[in-house]
Every structure is written in structure tokens, then in C-alpha cells.
Amino acid sequence: MSYIEELKEALGDKVLTEDFERFVFGADWSPRTQGEIIPPDVVICPRCTEDVVKTVKIAYEHGIPVTAGGGLTGMAGGAVPIHRGIYIDGTCMNQIIEVDVDNQTIRAQSGASLQDLVDAVELHGLWFPVLPESKWSCTLASAIACDIDSTFGMKYGKPLNMVLSIELVTGTGEVIEVGHRKTRFSATGYKLKDLIIGSEGTLGVITAATVKVEPVPEHRHVDMIIFPSMGQTVKYLDRVLKAGLVPEGAHINCRRRLKFYTHAYKEKHGHDPKIPDWAGALLAIIFAGDRDVLDFTLKKAYAIAAEMKGQIVEEREIVDNWWISKHTLEFPPFKQKWPASQTVKKFGAADPGIPMGRLEDIYEKFIETAEKYDLEILGMNAYLEHPCSIGFSLSCALFVDYRDQDEIDRYRKYFEEMSKIAVDMEGTMSTYMSDTDLKVPYFEYEHGPAARYMLEIKRLFDPKGIMNPGKKFTRDRVLGKEE
């Protein structure tokens, strides 16, 4: 019996094989031409962990690749089944399993969206603060698999800081739970939970997880402050932290990037927001708390800004435009973003991380590299993603014409070069997209001899190299067929 027949026998109508059913799973939001769409051979729509176990056991027996995906809004092809085989549509498993108000945790199936988590605890005055712009489509599993960025990262961090336990179906079809559902930390065993975070489906399929939830702050205030340079913005944030203030979120925009978020402003007024010529960076900063604390915090934050020659953006429409575009999304989906984004030209970004003192340097390299490959620059953002400290996750973004193979090829060269530049700056190639197949050439370059240990871990979880093959390591490498 073929493996697809076995799947049909085990899972019935949860198995999809028609061309039109498979086609949509051959691409995510990363720039790629029509010819580069790679549909899987078969799609599974599981409803429970047991469905995933049955799928992986059959795949293991036959040595068939298994790629799990969520909302397919990944921007580097992480869920694209580049070796075809089986695609597991994780969005079919989206149930909330438990809300524990006393212990402030929520457990959900892995395909619940991040917004689903927020909705499930809202009536208890709680929320899950790991929220990307794509919170309605990004699944819990994908957030874990990529250790994504959040709008509120400067206070709450990333999934790494918020996930308590993960249920995983390994590459042999065994179910394991890593971490502890109700305790915040543990010093026993090895921290396998942290290993799964950022593993992008290469060690197994995530089927459920328990995360912390937090009390919803009473009030929130968003500001934008103009600084002459990115470096000055970093100094400002350092002063804010030293004063004892904790922003909920902070995002440094280069002046080009602001336009991406304020397209609706331009539509209405017929011009871009007026930003002084001396502006080198715009800091969007979010504070939250009860009225007294928030008032005191803002007073102090404004005083530090004035001392450091930062200018508060007084025109609230600019700030509100940014905030709507970034978080509340109170408009028809993505309409407010630059119209060329995702229609004619795709949003294509490199996502390196660098030490806090190198922001100006990487910005220079970003512009230089984009120009070298003749690519249209959208702009750079530095998202502050480490709780209560300065830790950058960068989005060095371009507009890429997805119909033009030459432009796509130049974009990939840019992407590779930016990865190398970040490592040379004692940084990392990726901060929220993970490795995918695009960073494989520089994997060793970043990790050195530790890459060998990672390979052995991969083989332990996935002896036949069937879990999202081609990501982090080539499949041949995992199977020992290449050096």
C-alpha cells in the first residue's frame, strides 16, 4: 500500500490530495516566483494529537518528509515543503484546552492563533502579550517554532520568556511534553522546552502548549520621539531603563520605514507626515500601568527626552496611524500599509540581530547592501525584544517584485550577505524568522563546532531527517550523505 493510501485508511477525509487543495500550501509570504511554489504531495488536516501521531508514524515508516505549518505568513519560507511529501495544516487544531485563572496560564492546541489566546482570557482581565502584527493568523505553534517578535517585547519578551510547556510529536511519532505546565521555572533535567523554541518544526510537530498570561494593564500610552540618530535613540532607552521605567514596547524606525505605517495619512492629507530634516530615527515607545504610575512615568520619560534633545511628535494622527497599523489593525486588513506591499511588490526582510552598540553600523550596511543589489529600500526597524533591557531584533526591509526572477535572486543574495554581516558584527543571522533553507550556507559560520552538536540533537529527535527537511541542515547532511 502506498503511504498516501495508508494515510487515507488511518485518517479518512482529513487527507487532501487534489491539486487545488495542495497548491495553497506551496508558498508563504516570502518573495518567490510562481515557478518556485512547491505544493506538498498530500495535506493532512488533523484534529488532535493522535491524528498527528498516526501521520508521523506512517511518514517515519516510509521516510516521507513532514512539514507542519500555521497561517503561512512566515517571511522566509519556513513552512514551505521544499522536499514536498506531507504537509500538516496546523490551523485545524485550534481548540483552547484550559484557562487557569489562579495560576495565570492557558493551554491550547498548537493551531490556535495568538489572538485566540487573548480572546480566551480577556474576560478574566488577562492577556497573552506576545503579539506580532500577524496575531490573527500566526499560530501558537509557529510563534514557538520561530520565537517570533512581539509588539510588547520590551516588557514581556518573546515566546522563550512566556512558554511554559510544549507537547511535541517527534520524528518517530512519539509524544513528549517538555517543560512544566504550571511552574515558572525548574532546575531539573535539561531545558528541552527552550530547545524546541526556534526549532522551526525540524525536531517534531508541536501539538499543544501552555503559556503564561498576564494582567491587562489599566491604561496604555503610545508616543513617538524624534532623535537625530539611531545611536541617540539607544542612549535614550538606556537612560529610561536606568531611571527605573519599563516600556511595554519600543520600536526604532528609520525615517523611511515610518512611511510604511503611515500610508493612510498620506492618502488623507496628500503628503507624508512632516518630519524635521534633522530626524535620523523615530522611536515609538509604549508605556502602561494604572493612571498614577502612567502619569508619573510619562512625566519622567518626557523630561529625559527633553534633556537628550528628543522631540515628541505632537501630531497625534501620525502616532495613531502607526499604532493602528502596528497593533489595533482597525481597518480592512493591511489596507493601511504601503499599497505596493504584497500586491505588486512583496515585503522582503532580513532579520538579523546585533549587539546594542552596532545599530548605526548595521543600518549603514543595510543601505549599502540593498543599493549594491539594486533593490528598492522600504526601511529598517529595530524592535526591542528583550525584557527590561536593550536587545534588538531587526527588520531590514525591501520591496521585491515577486514576478521578476532576477530581482528575487538579487534579494536572496542580499539576504545571505546581511546574514554574514550580522555574524561578523558578533550578532546572529536571525531573530524572528529562524533559519529556513536560506540561512543553511551560513549555519556553520554562525555556530562553529556547536553546529555538530545541533546536528546530533536533530538526529536524536528525527533519525530519518523527515521533519521539515532542508531547514537549518540539508537533508543529506542529516542522513550523513554529505560532509
Number of H helices, E strands in the chain: 18, 18
- Residue 99, CA atoms < 13 Å, CB-side half-sphere: 18
Show Cβ contacts of residue 468 under 8 Å, excluding neighbours closer than 6 positions.
Answer: 65, 66, 67, 68, 78, 79, 200, 201, 202
**3-class secondary structure, 240:** helix
Residue 18-37 contact track with ligand FAD, rule CB under 6 A, x = bound: ----------xx--------
**For residues 191-210, which are near ligand FAD according to CB under 6 A?**
200-201, 205-206
Beta carbon nearer to ligand FAD, 289 or 391? 391
| Structural contact between residues 133 and 333, judged by C-beta atoms closer than 8 angstroms | no
Among 65, 71, 198, 289, binds ligand FAD (CB under 6 A): 71
d(CA 266, CA 269) in angstroms, rounded, equals: 5
Determine how many CB atoms are found less than 10 A away from the CB of residue 300. Answer: 15
The interface region with ligand FAD, picked from 36-44, 126-134, 228-236, 397-405 by CB under 6 A, is 126-134
Of 167 and 401, which CB lies nearer to ligand FAD in the complex structure?
Answer: 167
Residue 139 in contact with ligand FAD, rule: CB under 6 A: yes
Q: Which stretch binds ligand FAD (CB under 6 A): 35-43, 63-71, 370-378, 450-458?
A: 63-71
Could you give the CA distance from residue 259 to residue 156 in angstroms, rounded to a whole number?
Answer: 27
Residue 167 binds to ligand FAD (criterion: CB under 6 A): no
399 is an interface residue for ligand FAD by CB under 6 A: no
Q: Which residue among 66, 146, 209, 213 contacts ligand FAD (CB under 6 A)?
A: 146
Q: How far apart are CA 197 and CA 193, in angstroms?
A: 7
Binding mask 450-479 vs ligand FAD (x if CB under 6 A, - otherwise)? Answer: ------------------x-----------
Task: List the one residue out of 261, 358, 355, 364 whose CA is nearest residue 317.
Answer: 261
Task: Compute the least distance from the CB of residue 116 to ligand FAD, in Å.
Answer: 12
Q: Using the rule CB under 6 A, is 55 a contact of ligand FAD?
A: no
Cβ atoms of 93 and 109 closer than 8 Å: yes
CA–CA separation, 152 vs 286, rounded Å? 8
Q: Does 138 bind ligand FAD (CB under 6 A)?
A: yes
**Of 238, 251, 267, 171, residue with least CA distance to 478:** 171
Residue nearer to ligand FAD on the CB measure, 301 or 378: 378
Q: Which of 49, 55, 67, 297 binds ligand FAD (CB under 6 A)?
A: 67
Smallest distance from ligand FAD to CB 478, Å: 16
Instruction: Please identify the residue of the shown chain whose CB is closest to the bound ligand FAD.
Output: 70
- Which residue, 147 or 446, is less far from ligand FAD as judged by CB? 147
Query: Rule CB under 6 A: is residue 157 a binding residue for ligand FAD?
Result: no
- Tell me if 323 contacts ligand FAD by CB under 6 A: no
Of 245 and 437, the one with the shorter C-beta distance to ligand FAD is: 437
Sole binder of ligand FAD in the list 149, 167, 223, 416 (CB under 6 A): 149
SS3 string of 370-426? Answer: HHHCCCEEEEEEEEECCCCCCCEEEEEEEEEECCCHHHHHHHHHHHHHHHHHHHHCC
Exposed / middle / buried, residue 268 (Cβ in 10 Å: 0-12, 13-18, 19+): exposed
Residue ranges that bind ligand FAD, judged by CB under 6 A: 28-29, 67-75, 78-79, 90, 110, 132-134, 137-139, 141-143, 145-146, 148-149, 200-201, 205-206, 432, 468
